[in-house]
Amino acid sequence: MISNRLQAIAAFIPPAKRIVDVGCDHGYIIIEAFQKYQIESAVALDNKAGPLSKAFNNIRGYGFFDRVNFVLSEGLEQFYAQADAFILSGMGGLNIINIINNGLDKLGQARLIIQANRHAFEVRTYLTNQGYYLVNEELIFEGGKYYEIELFEKTEEPVFYHEDELYFGPLLLARKSEIFMNKLRHDLRILKAISHPMPKHLKTIKRIEEILC
């Protein structure tokens, strides 16, 4: 059984049938995608041989093994196929932005499934500036950490988000689910424990308090 985080990431794959897992490491997302979402093919891509061979070894026992390409690549540099969904998860947001920015011409109309460990605001800002909008968002709490999982798609009609939406996630902010409110309380505790808060910390404290009250 794979983690709730990985299951939630894979749940954003349909209706995509050809997926690329950028930074695949263990390859579990690809296994989940074949088993649960009947994808046709996958690319397991990583920039390090160790993680890529981990994915290779984890996937090779399955019947769909011959429908997976294993690609050693820095970002999308060595990716030349076409796909309906790119998954970039478990990496820092700035790294994710860098990978996407260097591979923009390879993305076509594919959906992007993103779970950035940090800098989600920067990722949302960057992608909306590139003509994407947020189709769905999911917040997962696992192992004492919160994970924001985001589904972006290309749009012809630009969608504008205000700063709070980019900061907290527009759909998460609108839904105000229990887990989202718990995350805000958690973030607020951390921010209030900073002994010499900077103006950006004070601004975030104010924003969170406004949402919570």
Ligand X SMILES: C[S@@+](CC[C@H](N)C(=O)[O-])C[C@H]1O[C@@H](n2cnc3c(N)ncnc32)[C@H](O)[C@@H]1O
According to CB under 6 A, which residues from 117 to 176 bind ligand X?
none
CB 107 to ligand X: min, Å: 15
Of positions 31, 33, 43, 99, contacts ligand X by CB under 6 A? 99
CA distance 25 to 135: 26
According to the binding rule CB under 6 A, does residue 91 interact with ligand X?
A: yes
Closest CA to 29 of 17, 40, 16, 42: 42
According to CB under 6 A, which residues from 1 to 60 bind ligand X?
22-25, 46-48, 51
Nearer to ligand X, 5 or 124 (CB): 5
According to the binding rule CB under 6 A, does residue 93 interact with ligand X?
A: no
Closest CA to 2 of 57, 58, 53, 47: 58
DSSP 8-state symbol, 21: E
CB 51 to ligand X: min, Å: 3
Give the N- to C-terminal CA distance of the chain in Å, as an integer: 38
According to the binding rule CB under 6 A, does residue 74 interact with ligand X?
A: yes
Nearer to ligand X, 96 or 134 (CB): 96
Output phi, psi for 187, to 5 deg.
-65, -40
CA distance 81 to 135: 24
Site of interaction with ligand X (CB under 6 A): 22-25, 46-48, 51, 74-75, 89-91, 95, 99
